[in-house]
Structure 1
């Protein structure tokens, strides 16, 4: 992948972060990019016997940062000869500090391990979900047990041609980004590339079951097939755009498998990722960019809650994070 030149790697030295650090080093070296490694510690708040803003509180915070920096240095030491790394310990709420770091220093990729697994065995914790909604640059969350290199990559795109004009360009741009990133990774790692679009015929249910509809079975079937042909044509157009972007030879080498599946995206994307044993799902996490407060669509959030493999999440062109940098 040649697009990432300023990579932010978020580590937790006490956990299994080796695959993430190795992946970040490889990306930095192959792209001749800059790599910054960070860890985040909580801000010390007032407690029993500690005065707010007093020297004891400051000293305690400094001690925590120093200890964490020592652990981070020791964790990274075996990798120090492989590439140059800047090292930082950030203080505060993890997702906010990570986004502030992205904004201040124009990072173009955040790569990290999942925050935690809760009792429902979901891959992502609360800080990760905040990052998936609000991080302005691509976010790659790698499972500690993820194979290296990736063997199977699944890219989820949306080729619905019914978006309003002011949204269509954003969706098209996001689709291009998703496929370019997924293709670059698949080429670099000799991985299988699968591309999925899940579609529905919006009026089908009403036409088949509506009390006030008098549409014959043949007409309904024809309508459904028309929608499928439209989506197939849009997918073909997207693949032609990819061919122009990466070159005919590269696309011929990849021979991506296209999945046009009728159904519910919340069910079908996780289901296919399991069926093909995907190591990585590349997908967008923003439904709309122009609506204040609507950061991640319900569909994307539901899908992410079910996926158990690594995820590379991408925002559309023009996305603006609601997180602001103080000062």
Structure 2
């Protein structure tokens, strides 16, 4: 099962983050991990900076008070652009998870704000954005997976494995139901219907063949998860598998709403590898529609565009 050793919690003072911090503290204790709580301060005039940093340090200490004198909990104040300094802290100190309460910019009618989206695009370690108030125990966890029925893709396989590891570990610890969701499309279906001389039955046969290929890919993930967690834990999890026909950006968010998911675990990098594209268009559209917390994971080999020496 997945274990974290060095967790970074980013304070979000614009929302009531007590429940999000409580979950971060609980997770760190369960994993026997070090937890660092940070806030960020924009660069301001030098004569005001020290005072603002001191104020933020006191605010962080006050935030940590309900969780007692825990030597594994530290605090720090980062100075500069919020997302850049958070990512630099990850690069500098080797954090393996970033947790943050979502900014919830209601005037934009979406859950995640500017700093949130920058972290989702550019942070090299998993990013857990929590919709507050955060429930102390999840009931429904959705793992969004992607399978290529045509050829095996090592990056995709590794990313799916990481998604399954995190989702299953959280489902076990919270006693939550685990749902694996894969959305698929028959990409040539529209062309075949409009421009070919195929009969409706032939089109239906093509679509069914595509469905079966994606079902086979999802079944292989079922086998992989069984091997990953072991028979005993798999029997305890009893995961449910959902093969949804339609565009992922529509089906994943719709399933999250239908299942009343507390958390969606998903990958966030485009498969295309286009230079400068650090989050897939599909993933970004899904994120903008999600009604719940999200745990977002980069594939192996991802290199953040943010550098320590900038």
Of 272, 276, 289, 1:306 maps to 289
Of 280, 289, 309, 2:263 maps to 280
Aligned-CA RMSD value: 1.5
| Cα deviation, residue 121, structure 1 | 2.0
Of 214, 224, 227, 2:207 maps to 224
Instruction: Work out the CA distance in 1 between the residues paired with 2:50 and 2:147.
Output: 51
Of 71, 76, 82, 1:88 maps to 76
Asked whether the equivalents of residues 261 and 292 of structure 2 are also in contact (C-alpha less than 8 Å), the reply is yes
Residue equivalent to 2:93: 105
User: How many residue pairs were aligned?
Assistant: 310
1:243 equivalenced with 2:226 (yes/no): yes
Q: Normalising by the residue count of structure 1, what TM-score does the alignment of the two structures yield?
A: 0.91
Residue equivalent to 1:319: 302
The 1:90/1:105 distance shift into structure 2, 3 A limit, reads same
Instruction: Work out the CA distance in 1 between the residues paired with 2:71 and 2:210.
Output: 51
The 1:2/1:265 distance shift into structure 2, 3 A limit, reads closer
1:257 equivalenced with 2:245 (yes/no): no
Residue equivalent to 2:39: 39
Instruction: Work out the CA distance in 2 between the residues paired with 1:174 and 1:105.
Output: 23
Residue equivalent to 2:6: 6
Asked whether the equivalents of residues 268 and 298 of structure 2 are also in contact (C-alpha less than 8 Å), the reply is yes
Instruction: Work out the CA distance in 2 between the residues paired with 1:170 and 1:10.
Output: 29
Residue equivalent to 1:126: 114
Instruction: Work out the CA distance in 2 between the residues paired with 1:141 and 1:14.
Output: 14
SS for the counterpart of 1:119 is helix
1:180 equivalenced with 2:165 (yes/no): yes
SS for the counterpart of 2:107 is coil
Asked whether the equivalents of residues 39 and 60 of structure 2 are also in contact (C-alpha less than 8 Å), the reply is yes
Asked whether the equivalents of residues 178 and 284 of structure 1 are also in contact (C-alpha less than 8 Å), the reply is yes
CA shift digits 1:233-282 (9 cap, x unpaired) = 11111111111110012111111111101011111111111111000000
CA shift digits 1:278-314 (9 cap, x unpaired) = 0000011101374320111110000100112000001
| Cα deviation, residue 318, structure 1 | 1.1
Instruction: Work out the CA distance in 2 between the residues paired with 1:116 and 1:187.
Output: 28
Query: Unaligned regions of 5+ residues in structure 2, if any?
Result: none
Query: Unaligned regions of 5+ residues in structure 1, if any?
Result: 45-56
Of 278, 290, 302, 1:295 maps to 278
Asked whether the equivalents of residues 289 and 319 of structure 1 are also in contact (C-alpha less than 8 Å), the reply is no
CA shift digits 1:35-62 (9 cap, x unpaired) = 1110111111xxxxxxxxxxxx322111
Asked whether the equivalents of residues 33 and 72 of structure 2 are also in contact (C-alpha less than 8 Å), the reply is no
Listed as ranges, the matches of 1:21-60 within 5 Å are 21-44=21-44, 57-60=45-48
Instruction: Work out the CA distance in 1 between the residues paired with 2:161 and 2:239.
Output: 15
Report runs of 4+ in structure 1 exceeding 4 Å deviation. Answer: none
Instruction: Work out the CA distance in 1 between the residues paired with 2:147 and 2:90.
Output: 30
| Cα deviation, residue 146, structure 1 | 2.4
